[in-house]
Amino acid sequence: MGNWHARQSAIISDCDIGEGTEVSDFTILDGCEIGEDCKIWRFVNLYGCELGDECMAGSNVEIQDGVTVGDRCRIQSHAFICSRVTIEDDVFVSHGAKFVNDRYPPSGDADEWEETIVREGASIGTNATLLPVEVGENAIVGAGAVVVDDVPPNAIVAGNPAEVISYQDAGAASH
């Protein structure tokens, strides 16, 4: 374990935590690899996942077993990221966003779960729901969108089901 800071009321088991990472009260971390200079807020449950360097997990976030989150990602409060999700570098996941790995729940069989990939620089809006899809590089998923199909790079999608409403200039995409 690195030189990280955790308060007395955090429960941390079998984790590798990088230098400069802060873990707030009332947090449970189990079997995680967390990079350097991260901030884990209150009431966060992380188990069996990997977070890169300079990430933030807001209050009431849950990230499940087998999830990989790249560097410099922000996972805002109340987001739920289920198993079989990969989030690349510089991704923003807004408040209350939810990921789904089982198209026909409850299958009860993890072998039937599907993966989701969110490519570098993408943004996921507040209360968006993503079924097993690929979100392209620098794409934007609007607030409340229900994403059932892959999202092309630089696309802006919105609605239920989400549809492409526009494209942003690839050179202008940034956070």
Domain segments of the chain as ranges: 5-102+112-167
**pTM of the predicted structure, to 2 decimals:** 0.91
Class of domain 5-102+112-167: mainly beta
Per-residue pLDDT of the chain (175 residues; tens, 9 = 90+): 454 555 558 899 999 999 999 999 899 999 999 999 999 999 999 999 999 999 999 999 999 999 999 999 999 999 999 999 999 999 999 999 999 998 877 777 888 889 999 999 999 999 999 999 999 999 999 999 999 999 999 999 999 999 999 999 865 554 4
Question: Which of 25, 24, 18 is closest to 4 using CA atoms?
Answer: 18
The CA distance from 163 to 26, in Å, is 39
Under a CB-based contact definition with an 8 Å cutoff, are residues 85 and 116 in contact?
A: yes
Adjacency order of strands within the sheet including 16-17: 16-17, 33-34, 50-51, 68-69, 85-87, 116-118, 134-135
